[in-house]
Structure 1
Amino acid sequence: MIDKKLSNIDTPLIICIYGIINALNTKIEKITLKYPGYKDKITILHLTDIHLGAIHQKNSVLKIVKEAQELEPDIVVITGDMADGSLKVKPDWLMPFDDLAVPILYVTGNHEEMNPKVDMILAVNATQIKYIGRHETYKYKGVNFIGEDFGYDLRKCLLDVKSEDGVPNVLLSHIPILDPEELGRFNIFLFLAGHTHGGQLFPFQIFAYWANACFSGLYSDKTQSHHCFVSEGVNNALVPMRVGSSRVFPLITIEGDK
C-alpha cells in the first residue's frame, strides 16, 4: 500500500523534473530550401516565443545570444511573443542582442498585447533590433522580408504589401494561419511563425494541432515552391516545462537550385 502511494507521487514528480530539464535543452533544427535562380545564400536563425517576463529575463537573453553566436547565422528573425505580459520588459534585458552583430528583425505576437505593446516596441527600439511589424519590408542578401504584427488581417495586409518577383519573399508573423497551398496567392516563398509551442505540454498538442493551419516544423505545398515553418519556440508560456515538445533554434538556409 505504501509503495503504491509512493508510486502515485513519484510519477508526476518525475514528469515535472523531466519537463523542466527538457525545457532547458536546445534542439538545433537545420533546413535547406532551394529557390530557383537565387544567386546568393542566406542562413536565417528563427527565434520565437521568448516570453520575457517574471520567469525569463536578461539571463535568458544572454543564453540565447551565446547559443546564437555559435550558429553564426546571417540574420536573426523574432516572430512574436518576445514578452509574456507578466512584467514590463526592460530595454536592458534586450541589450545582449546587440552583441550578435547581424541584422535582427522583429514582429509582435499576441502576448505583446498584454505588455502593453507600445512599451515592448520602445524597449526594442533602444537596441539594434529592427521592428518591422507594420507591413514593412527589409531586404538583405537578395531576400525580401515582410513583417506583420499579431492583430492585423494577414490576408488583407499581404494584398497591400509589395512582394517582389524573382526573389525569395519571407513572411514573418506570429500565428501560422496560412498553409503553404495559400502562400502562392501572395507570392510568399517562406512563412516563419511560432505561437503553438508544439503544444508545450502533453496533451495540449492535440488542441494546438487542430487550432492552427500548421502546427510544428516544415510544411510545403505540392510543388515544393512555398513553405511554412512553425517553430516550437525558445521559452515557455505559464510554466517552465516541456513534455512532448522542444526548445528549438531553427536554422534555415535559402540557396539557389544549382
Structure 2
Amino acid sequence: MKKILLIALGLFMFMAIYGGMNYYVYKSIVAGIEIAGITLILVRLSFWVLGTAYIGGQILKRKVTTSNLTYLGSVWMGILGISMTIFLVRDLSAWLLPIDNDLYLVAYMIILIMIIYSFFKVKAGPKIKCVDINRSKNNGKSTSIIHLADIHLGVMTSEKWLEDVVKKVNDLNGDMVVITGDMVDDSFHIVKKFAPKMASIKAKNGVFAVAGNHEHYQGIHNFYEFCKAANITVLDNESIMVDDKINLIGIDDNLVKSGTLYQKVGELIGKDKDSYNVLLLHQPVGFNKLSEMGVHLQLSGHTHKGQLPPLNMLVPIKYPYSYGLHSLGNSHIYTTSGTGTWGPPMRLFTNSEIVRINVS
C-alpha cells in the first residue's frame, strides 16, 4: 500500500509540474501574439494534444505500437523545457529592467534557434572523449576502459544510430567496455532487435553492465534478457577481477535507495592491497565516502549533464559530481553526460559522448 501511495504521489507531482509548464508556456505565447477566435481554439487544442502525447504513448505502448506518439510527446517535452526557460528569462528581464520593448519577439527567435540547434547536436552522434587517470597503484600495466551510459534503447532508438555508436566503440579498441546503467529503456520484445549489434562490441576483457533506474522502471527482467542476448556480463552487486588486478565492482541502482550501498561496496572492495577498485554505479553519489573506503575509480552516468534547459542548471545542485572528472586524494570519479538521450532527442549546452579512460 505504501508503494502504491508513493507512486500515486509521484505521478500527481509530475502531472502538476508538467501541467504548470504547459500552462505557463501557453500563456507566454498568447501574451506576445494577438490570438482570438478559431486560432486561439486551435492553439489550445494543440497544447492539450502535445501535452498528453508522451503520457498517452507510455500508457498505450503495452497494447499497440506508439512510436510516433511517443516521439511527438518527447519532442514536445524538449520544446517545452527550452521555451519555459527563455520565457522565464524574458519575464525576469522585463521585471528588473526598465525597458519599453516587451522582448517577446526576441524570445521567440531564441527559442526557435535553440530548438533547431538541439536537434542537430544529437543528429551528429556522440563525441569521443579521452581521459587519462594515473593509477594510484604502481603495479600493473596501462588499461583502457570504454565508458558508456544512458543509451536508452527503446522504441525511439534508431538502428543506424546504434550501429554508428558500436563502430566508434570498436574503433577505440579498449581493453574493456562498461555500461553504467539506463541501457535498456523498454520491453525486451521491442529492444531485442538491438541485441546482435550490441553483441558485436569488441573488447579484450569483455563488456560489463549494471542496472540503472530506467531498467527498474521498465522491469528488470527485460534488462537481464537483453544482456544475455547481447553477450553482456551483468554485475549485480558483485565484483570480478579483470585484466591486471583490476577489481571491477558493479552495483545495482536500487541499492542507492535501499541505503545498503556502502555496506555492499565494503564487502566487494578488493582484499589484495594491490587491487585497483573500479566501481560501476549509475548515479554519481557517495563518492566522498566511497573514496575513503578504497574505491579508486567510480564510473557513473544518469545526469545527462542536464541534457536540456532548465535541467542544465538544476542537475549540478543535486549532484556535486554531475559531469566530468573529479578527484579526492588518489581516487577519481568520472560522470559521463551519456551516450544517448532520454525523452527528447535533443541536447543543448551538452554533448552525447563515448569516453575512453586510460588508466596508467
**Structure 1 residue 159 corresponds to structure 2 residue 266:** yes
The partner residue of 1:177 within 285, 291, 300 is: 285
Given residue 211 of structure 2, which amino acid in structure 1 is its aligned partner?
T
Alignment of 1:72-91 (within 5 A): 72-85=173-186, 89-91=190-192
**Structure 1 residue 201 corresponds to structure 2 residue 344:** no
Aligned to 1:229: 334
Question: Residues 234 and 248 of structure 1 are in contact (CA less than 8 Å); yes or no, is this contact kept in structure 2?
Answer: yes
Instruction: Please state whether the residue corresponding to 1:100 is helix, strand or coil.
Output: coil
Higher helix share: 2
Q: After TM superposition, which residue ranges in structure 1, 4 or more long, deviate above 6 angstroms?
A: none
Which runs of no fewer than 5 residues in structure 2 stay unpaired?
A: 1-31, 34-102
Higher strand share: 1
Question: Residues 40 and 142 of structure 1 are in contact (CA less than 8 Å); yes or no, is this contact kept in structure 2?
Answer: no
CA shift digits 1:23-73 (9 cap, x unpaired): 233222211111231321111010000011121143332121011122121
**Structure 1 residue 188 corresponds to structure 2 residue 295:** yes
Question: Residues 61 and 94 of structure 1 are in contact (CA less than 8 Å); yes or no, is this contact kept in structure 2?
Answer: no
Is the deviation greater in 50-59 or in 146-155?
50-59
Query: Which structure is richer in relative contact order (CA contacts within 8 A, separation 6 or more)?
Result: 1
The partner residue of 1:31 within 117, 131, 148 is: 131
**Structure 1 residue 59 corresponds to structure 2 residue 160:** yes
The partner residue of 1:112 within 200, 211, 215 is: 215
Tell me how far apart the structure 1 counterparts of residues 106 and 165 of structure 2 sit (CA, whole Å): 37
Higher alpha-carbon Rg: 2
Question: Residues 155 and 190 of structure 2 are in contact (CA less than 8 Å); yes or no, is this contact kept in structure 1?
Answer: no
Query: Could you state the TM-score of these two structures normalised by the residue count of structure 2?
Result: 0.65
Query: Could you state the TM-score of these two structures normalised by the residue count of structure 1?
Result: 0.89
Indicate how the Cα distance of structure 1 residues 75 and 209 shifts in structure 2: closer, same or farther if over 3 A, else same. same
Tell me how far apart the structure 2 counterparts of residues 135 and 85 of structure 1 sit (CA, whole Å): 25
Tell me how far apart the structure 2 counterparts of residues 67 and 139 of structure 1 sit (CA, whole Å): 23
Deviation at 1:211, TM superposition (A): 1.1
Question: Residues 53 and 87 of structure 1 are in contact (CA less than 8 Å); yes or no, is this contact kept in structure 2?
Answer: no
Indicate how the Cα distance of structure 1 residues 14 and 88 shifts in structure 2: closer, same or farther if over 3 A, else same. farther
**Structure 1 residue 216 corresponds to structure 2 residue 323:** yes
Question: Residues 140 and 244 of structure 2 are in contact (CA less than 8 Å); yes or no, is this contact kept in structure 1?
Answer: no
The count of aligned residue pairs is 251
Which runs of no fewer than 5 residues in structure 1 stay unpaired?
A: none
Q: Aligned-residue CA RMSD in angstroms? A: 2.2
